[in-house]
Every structure is written in structure tokens, then in C-alpha cells.
A = this chain, B = another copy of it.
């Protein structure tokens, strides 16, 4: 996790700006002979793709992911397989509107990375927020599609569990509902409320935050390497690296701070199949930085989009006090599209730890 590379054995290197010719990533260290196709990647790209409902930005990007290397036909079936060499993925920027950027070039939008990029580098590609654009996250989803296939039996799913102050009713959780509304919301009833709520936000030119939950099933116990390669540590690192994320928690998370030891302990019994069975999962599937075999549960908070219509006080690069408001295409709740991105980062982290564990310990013993 450094520079623009995430992971140790399963490594993703990201590049590209919002309005350059393309963005992309290099997925390195993938095991060989894993079937992968552009269609499979596209399936996940399409979830993150903008412009699919009135609740996300109206930028029209096909987000077509091309594989440029690292795959080859199976001799017998003709199916494309990974070869173990770097997989280069390229996504062209198609709908990068040429427009007048003089406003965001000079005025620092509060809550935006404009000013910090300037402070750090002394230069920035301001077109469409350049490297700081959420567009960069498309490469995460592409890499995540490959990561999903690395760990046998692993399923990683995400859902929006809170929008603004409005949390879902967890008793109504239904995974099937997630794909039936534009919010990836597992509570169908709440999804109807969100539609109204967000329409209001959107029409006012405002924006709102959200909380996303990602759950990974099917992982073996033993993944994670204390004390500085802990599984929860790297999940936190991956999720916090997503644009606009301000908090991450595992299992009971901040609620666990309010509990007593008795309440928090996940008691254990033996299941019918002779395997351990936990009576609860406050740990979120991780103890001492190592997976327990229970589902991995992570949540993250996404702040409201900083690009809003309402004028905010700010300064220019030259130090003049001004007001700024952002017209143009933007997400009223950027947290929605964070669902497939969060899934991708968890999948990438787990694929990496699966290989790291196999390296140190071996397998199948």
C-alpha cells in the first residue's frame, strides 16, 4: 500500500485522470489459469457506471474495460485464462466534456482535493478534478472483478445501509432487494423513502452522505498476519483509500465501544457438522487481525459530495476571498456508487491475504 499500488502479492497499480485519454490499472501477481473475460469485468463495471438513474451523475461513460495483457487462450477450450503475468486494463475516457474550467482552476471548492493537490504538487490537472475524481475508482472495480476469482468460494457483497441520517431496518434485510433499486439498498421499503428523499436533495442542488456495508462469505479461518499485516488493518486501509470515505468499522465497530465484555463476546458452540459455530459476530469475522471463518463484515462512511449548487465561502489560488458553487454533472449521493467500489476493495484485500497466507503457511494441510 504505497503510491498508487495496493496489495503485496495480489497488487493493483492505478493510473489516470478524469479528462485524460484513458484511465487504467495493472493487476500483478494474479495466480495463473484463472478464467477471466472482459464480459465478467464489465458486469461489475456496469454497477459503478454513472448515468444509470437520475440519482447518479449524468456523465455518459460506457466504461468499457479492455484487457491488454496477462491472459491467453486455454489450449483445449479456447477460454481466456490468466497467465500469471501482469494484467493491464484500459478504460477510455469518452464523455470528457470540453468546457470552461476557469472556475475550479482558480477557486478551491471546500471539501475538495483541489487545494491539497496544489499544496503538495504545485500543479494539477483540474479538468473534472483530474486524478482526484471519483472516475479513478472505475479501475478498482475492474481489478476487484479479477480478485473475486482468486479465492475459491468467496462471495463479496455490499449494500447501502444508511443515507443521510436514515438507516435501514436490518430486520428487513434482503439481498435480492439490492439489485432492484438504484441505491443498492437491501431494505426495499427504505429504498422507496430514499428515492423521495434524494430527489429532494438533488433538486435543491445539495448532496448527502451514506454508510455502506460490505460482507464477505466463504473465507477460511487464518487469513491476516499480525501485527502490521492484520486483515482488518488492510481492509481499513483499502476502504479508507476510496474517495470521500471518512470512517471504517469492522463488525460491531464503534458500537463495541459501548458494550461490556459479556455483551461483546461472541460465544462459541459446536455445530452439527463438527465445526465451531459462533452465537454472534460482533468481531466481524476477525480476531487478533486473523479471520475466524465467520463472514467478514465491514462498514464505511461516505461524506456528502462536495460539489453542490449552494454557494460556499472559499479562497482562490491567489488568496482572494470568494464564493464558489458547482454547476454541472454530479452525484447527489456519491455513497451509492461506493457500493461496488467498497466490494472491490474488500475483494482485492482478501485475495491478497489469501495469497500471502498461502505463501507463509502452504495450503490444504
Contacts and interface: CB of A to CB of B under 8 A. Distances in A.
Given A4-B228, A261-B306, A116 B222 contact: yes
Contacts of A85: 4, 15, 17, 121, 125, 130-131, 226
A214 to B, nearest CB: 14
3 closest A-B pairs by beta carbon, nearest first, are A113-B288, A359-B359, A247-B249
Within the oligomer, what is the number of copies of this chain? 4
Given A246-B251, A256-B304, A360-B355, A15 B70 contact: yes
Given A15-B88, A26-B26, A358-B358, 10 more contacts: A2-B229, A5-B228, A14-B228, A16-B68, A24-B68, A72-B123, A111-B265, A116-B221, A201-B260, A247-B250
A155 interface: no
A312 to B, nearest CB: 5
Contacts of A22: 68-69, 88
A165 to B, nearest CB: 4
Interface in A8-27: 8-9, 11-17, 20-24, 26
A1 B302 contact: no
Contacts of A222: 116, 119-120
User: Which of A84, A113, A308 has the most CB atoms of chain B within a 10 A radius of its CB?
Assistant: A84
A353 B283 CA distance: 30
Interface stretch (A177-185, A186-194, A269-277): A269-277
A264 interface: yes
A201 to B, nearest CB: 7
Interface in A213-264: 221-230, 232-241, 243, 245-264
A72 B70 CA distance: 30
Given A241-B230, A264-B111, A257 B303 contact: yes
A233 B247 CA distance: 10
A13 B1 contact: no
Interface stretch (A43-51, A55-63, A168-176, A203-211): A203-211
28 contacts: A1-B234, A3-B225, A4-B225, A4-B226, A5-B11, A8-B8, A15-B68, A17-B70, A24-B88, A33-B121, A33-B123, A84-B360, A111-B264, A112-B288, A117-B290, A131-B227, A201-B260, A207-B260, A208-B260, A209-B259, A241-B289, A246-B251, A246-B254, A248-B248, A254-B254, A259-B303, A279-B313, A359-B359
Contacts of A90: 90
Nearest to A358: B359
Given A69-B23, A290-B117, A4 B28 contact: yes
B287 A116 contact: yes
A31 B276 CA distance: 25
A20 to B, nearest CB: 5
Contact of A265 (B72, B209, B308): B308
A153 interface: no
A154 B345 CA distance: 32
Contact of A3 (B29, B201, B209, B364): B29
A83 B123 contact: yes
A128 to B, nearest CB: 12
A158 B24 CA distance: 33
